[in-house]
Amino acid sequence: MSELPEKQVKRLKSLIQEAETNLAAANELLMSILGDDGQVYTPTNSREDVGGKVVEGVFDGQKMAGPDGKEYPIPANYASKSKLVEGDILKLTIAEDGSFIYKQIGPIDRTQIIGTLVQHDGAYFVEANGREYRILLASVTYFRINIGDQVTIIIPTENPEATWAAVEAAL
């Protein structure tokens, strides 16, 4: 018994979307290991009392912007699991061995809203309150959410027009 062509096309589209998601996840993981300059970063946020250079900055949804204008890569899995929100203050310790250790030191006020996951141009967004908020691919894979799923996201209370949101939970 053969499937109808419509079912085959639907299944193929689903397989292609899954493959694109997996490829994007692999690329994002690689970029969290290799920074923009190709240096290997070993982020660990559990170590304390590590010597090295300390930089404080503001999370922009993907990276930390330092006071010197330099951008520091934040591993997407750390940002997703820590539910970092645009505007959070972070401390980065660059240890003597070159590893990067991030710590959230100033979370901003947050608001939770519910929206629907959408995707276009390879990026994921949650449509909520009449606008779209970008979310990290790591959140999509971590929470195992699919296009059309309802999602609770976190946005900055003082900046509801933020570009990025953090995923709180899949509904």
Q: What is the pLDDT of residue 36?
A: 47
Reported pTM: 0.70
Residue 14 Ramachandran class (φ > 0 left, ψ -120 to 50 alpha, else beta) = alpha
Distances (CA, A) of 83 to 16, 20, 27, 57: 29, 24, 21, 16
- Judge whether residue 167 has pLDDT over 80: yes
Consecutive H or E run containing 34: none
Q: From CA 104, how far away is CA 90, in angstroms rounded? A: 4
Q: What is the pLDDT of residue 95?
A: 86
CB pairs under 8 A, 24+ apart, for 23-27? 24/122, 24/137, 25/137, 25/138, 25/141
22-58 confidence digits (pLDDT tens): 666 666 656 655 554 444 444 444 444 556 789 999 9
Query: In terms of residues, how long is the chain?
Result: 171
69-78 confidence digits (pLDDT tens): 899 999 998 8
- Judge whether residue 20 has pLDDT over 80: no
Q: From CA 115, how far away is CA 10, in angstroms rounded? A: 25
Q: What is the pLDDT of residue 96?
A: 86
Average pLDDT over residues 100-125: 94
Q: Which domains does the chain have, with CATH numbers?
A: 34-106 (no CATH), 110-170 (2.40.50.140)
Average pLDDT over residues 118-134: 95
Average pLDDT of the chain, as a whole number = 84
Q: From CA 76, how far away is CA 149, in angstroms rounded? A: 21
Average pLDDT over residues 131-137: 95
Split at pLDDT 50, 70, 90, the class of 98 is confident
